[in-house]
């Protein structure tokens, strides 16, 4: 009881809750990781309130986990040690639009799509649009996970757009990191450490983002291919030749079939590639023609989606469509990143590994960015198949790491990919732990993430 009263005094009584329904909502994300109930949920409204709550948590050594929308896919915001969940979703204001500098300063709880809606009148947008979660993901969560999305092929991921931040460290100290300058050579790049740190180093309470102009012209298209290999080889070739695509999304034939079952789209059940080109009205035609020619060289056919649908309307449902195929099953997910030239090898080897273990694989992702999600769906009660699918995942990740890839292209490590971190980072993991101690000496911020407590 003391905890609640003291937190209420630091914030407001109506913004502190121990109700089971609130704790249950804060216990989970969109992954298959087991939920863990926090003791209390707090909704701060300002940097000062965040600082006060963190100071209190630090003084009493209470674990504290930041939360945006909870749309992570690796258990990132699950409060595995209980304690306080600091839900930042009510800090959702635009603080300032610096239109002449192509920048915006926001509170962390603003949702991606809402930010872009509000930037439209300025002719600007924040581009790293996460495919299926743009309608829920908060900017704070995107920064903490270094999220990316369909337009990251042309414009980069979240990291490339974060210019400055106000943060609260694990001691409650408020720091301003980065600068609104276009370029700086001043001191260590501490802001870079914040991006992708999954709320383990500091809580972001204000973020300044670099924006880009809304394209004058855009053209979208969909292609089907005779095989998965043909489709991904076409993507790798387009990237190698510098075809200036804004988006290049790959979906294997099983993902397309799942979309048909989920939404009745009536798509041709063939490996598919969705592309979008941005530029001046004349340049988009030229770039699109190059993309089409290269796709056709690899057996691709330009198609019109049934009902003249927008490709992203279809793509949006991919994760949910695969999940809906077997609601009893859980997802065993990979979030592979690799040099783009190796995309065809990653796809071929992933299917070969899945076949070796007798499990069914679905592949899709921001392939033009060198990111692929190879998903397995199995019922954990079938112990043999569950173990086989997990071994298949391990082998696929090992293969990708062996070619200089990464275990997480965009979702973060969270809980789900912790076991690969030492394999990927080796001795550098000890440096990461040292950095964590500097920001958060009592290990209260989102403890148990990125590496396990014992690692
Ligand atoms: C259907 C679906 C599709 C998706 N597609 C994509 C995709 O295309 N690309 C992609 O990158 N991701 C994707 N995701 C994953 C997810 O949406 C993103 O990682 C998103 O950025 C998470 O934002 P959130 O607000 O939900 O954060 P949360 O899940 O609430 O939190 C994410 C992490 O950030 C920390 N955190 C949150 N706010 C702060 C803060 N203010 N300061 C410090 N730490 C903080 C949390 O502790 C946690 O570790 C998808 C998810 C779903 C369900």
51 contacts 174 by C-beta, under 8 angstroms: yes
Write the CATH number for 309: 3.40.462.10
| Boundary-marking domain end, from 376, 402, 428 | 402
94, two tokens = 């635009």
71 Cα to the center of ligand 1, angstroms = 5
In a domain, 119, yes or no: yes
Domain that residue 378 falls in: 217-402
Question: pLDDT grade, residue 453 (50/70/90)?
Answer: confident
- CA dist 251 and 426 (Å) reads 33
Instruction: Kindly tell me if the per-residue pLDDT of 455 is higher than 90.
Output: no
- Is the CA virtual torsion 247, 89, 198, 73 positive or negative? negative
Predicted local distance difference test score (pLDDT) of residue 2: 63
Predicted local distance difference test score (pLDDT) of residue 131: 80
| Boundary-marking domain end, from 402, 430, 447 | 402
349, two tokens = 């080897």
What's the pTM value of the predicted model, to 2 decimals? 0.97
Instruction: Kindly tell me if the per-residue pLDDT of 442 is higher than 80.
Output: yes
Write the CATH number for 78: 3.30.465.10
In a domain, 91, yes or no: yes
Are residues 282 and 203 part of one domain? no
In a domain, 409, yes or no: no
Mean confidence (pLDDT) of the chain: 97
Instruction: Kindly tell me if the per-residue pLDDT of 287 is higher than 60.
Output: yes
pLDDT tens digit string along 395-419?
A: 999 999 999 999 999 999 999 999 9
**71 CB less than 6 Å from ligand 1?**
yes
Average pLDDT over residues 390-399: 98
In a domain, 235, yes or no: yes
Instruction: Kindly tell me if the per-residue pLDDT of 62 is higher than 90.
Output: yes
**141 CB less than 6 Å from ligand 1?**
yes
Q: Are strands 330-332 and 371-378 parallel, antiparallel or unpaired?
A: antiparallel
Q: Identify which of 247, 257, 188 has the alpha carbon closest to the alpha carbon of residue 371.
A: 247
Are residues 226 and 83 part of one domain? no
Predicted local distance difference test score (pLDDT) of residue 378: 95
- Of 51, 140, 158, the one to substitute when testing ligand 1's pocket (max ligand atoms within 8 A of C-beta) is 140
Among 61-70, 159-168, 255-264, 445-454, which is the least confidently predicted range?
445-454
Are residues 234 and 156 part of one domain? no
Helix (H) or strand (E) holding 43, with range, is none
Are residues 180 and 85 part of one domain? yes
In a domain, 152, yes or no: yes
**130 CB less than 6 Å from ligand 1?**
yes
Rounded to 5 degrees, φ, ψ at 214 are -60, 135
448, two tokens = 């148990």
Average pLDDT over residues 76-83: 98
Instruction: Kindly tell me if the per-residue pLDDT of 262 is higher than 90.
Output: yes
Instruction: Kindly tell me if the per-residue pLDDT of 289 is higher than 90.
Output: yes
147 contacts 141 by C-beta, under 8 angstroms: yes
Question: pLDDT grade, residue 1 (50/70/90)?
Answer: low
In a domain, 411, yes or no: no
Q: Identify which of 163, 166, 111 has the alpha carbon closest to the alpha carbon of residue 135.
A: 111
Atom of ligand 1 nearest to the CA of 204: 42
Average pLDDT over residues 50-67: 98
- CA dist 327 and 310 (Å) reads 27
Are residues 308 and 197 part of one domain? no
Are residues 389 and 301 part of one domain? yes
Q: How far is CA 116 from CA 163, 209, 269, in A?
A: 17, 12, 33
Are residues 335 and 238 part of one domain? yes
Instruction: Kindly tell me if the per-residue pLDDT of 426 is higher than 90.
Output: yes
Are residues 452 and 355 part of one domain? no
98, two tokens = 């610096």
**411 CB less than 6 Å from ligand 1?**
yes
Are residues 361 and 226 part of one domain? yes
Residue 453 in 3-state DSSP? coil
336, two tokens = 């592979």
Atom of ligand 1 nearest to the CA of 449: 49
Judged on CB neighbours under 10 Å (0-12, 13-18, 19+), 25 is middle
449 Cα to the center of ligand 1, angstroms = 14
In a domain, 410, yes or no: no
pLDDT tens digit string along 177-202?
A: 999 999 999 999 999 999 999 999 99
Q: Identify which of 236, 232, 266 has the alpha carbon closest to the alpha carbon of residue 252.
A: 232
130 contacts 149 by C-beta, under 8 angstroms: yes
Average pLDDT over residues 1-27: 94
Whose Cα sits closest to atom 3 in ligand 1? Answer: 132
In a domain, 355, yes or no: yes
Are residues 396 and 376 part of one domain? yes
Are residues 376 and 256 part of one domain? yes
Instruction: Kindly tell me if the per-residue pLDDT of 318 is higher than 80.
Output: yes
Are residues 23 and 165 part of one domain? yes
Number of domains the chain contains: 2
pLDDT tens digit string along 93-132?
A: 999 999 999 999 999 999 999 999 999 999 999 999 998 8
- CA dist 149 and 127 (Å) reads 8
Rounded to 5 degrees, φ, ψ at 431 are -65, -40
Predicted local distance difference test score (pLDDT) of residue 214: 97
């Amino acid at each position: 009881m003391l905890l609640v009263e003291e937190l209420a005094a630091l914030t407001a009584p109506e913004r502190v809750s121990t109700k089971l329904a609130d704790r249950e909502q804060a216990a989970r994300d969109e992954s298959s990781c087991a939920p863990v109930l926090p003791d209390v949920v707090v909704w701060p409204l300002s940097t000062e309130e965040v600082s006060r709550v963190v100071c209190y948590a630090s003084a009493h050594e209470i674990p504290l986990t930041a939360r945006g929308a909870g749309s992570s896919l690796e258990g990132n915001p699950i409060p595995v040690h209980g304690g306080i969940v600091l839900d930042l979703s009510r800090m959702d204001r635009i603080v300032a639009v610096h239109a002449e500098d192509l920048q915006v300063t926001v509170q962390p709880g603003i949702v991606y799509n809402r930010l872009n809606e509000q930037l439209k009148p300025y002719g600007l947008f924040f581009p790293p649009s996460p495919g299926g979660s743009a309608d829920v993901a908060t900017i704070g969560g995107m920064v903490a996970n270094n999220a990316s999305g369909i337009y990251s092929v042309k414009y980069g991921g979240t990291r490339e757009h974060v210019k400055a931040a106000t943060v609260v460290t694990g001691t409650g100290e408020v720091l301003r990191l980065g600068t609104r300058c276009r370029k700086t050579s001043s001191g260590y790049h501490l802001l870079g450490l914040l991006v992708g740190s999954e709320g383990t180093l500091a809580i972001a309470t204000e973020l300044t983002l670099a924006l880009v102009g809304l394209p004058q012209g855009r053209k979208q298209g969909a292609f089907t291919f005779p095989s998965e290999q043909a489709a991904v080889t076409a993507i790798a070739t387009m990237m190698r030749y510098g075809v200036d695509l804004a988006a290049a999304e790959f979906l294997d034939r099983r993902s397309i079939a799942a979309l048909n079952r989920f939404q009745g789209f009536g798509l041709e059940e063939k490996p598919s590639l969705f592309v979008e080109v941005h530029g001046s009205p004349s340049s988009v035609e030229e770039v699109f023609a190059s993309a089409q020619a290269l796709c056709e060289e690899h057996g691709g056919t330009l198609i019109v989606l049934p009902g003249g649908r927008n490709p992203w309307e279809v793509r949006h449902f991919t994760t949910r469509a695969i999940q809906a195929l077997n609601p009893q099953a859980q997802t065993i997910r990979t979030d592979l990143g690799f040099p783009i030239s190796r995309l065809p090898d990653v796809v071929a080897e992933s299917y070969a590994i899945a076949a070796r273990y007798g499990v069914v694989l679905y592949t899709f992702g921001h392939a033009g960015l060198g990111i692929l999600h190879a998903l397995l769906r199995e019922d954990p009660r079938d112990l043999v198949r569950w173990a086989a699918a997990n071994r298949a995942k391990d082998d696929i990740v090992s293969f990708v790491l062996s070619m200089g890839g990464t275990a997480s292209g965009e979702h973060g490590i969270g809980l789900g990919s912790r076991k690969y971190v030492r394999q990927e980072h080796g001795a550098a993991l000890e440096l990461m732990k040292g950095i964590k101690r500097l920001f958060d000496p009592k290990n209260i911020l989102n403890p148990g993430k990125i590496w396990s407590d014992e690692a």
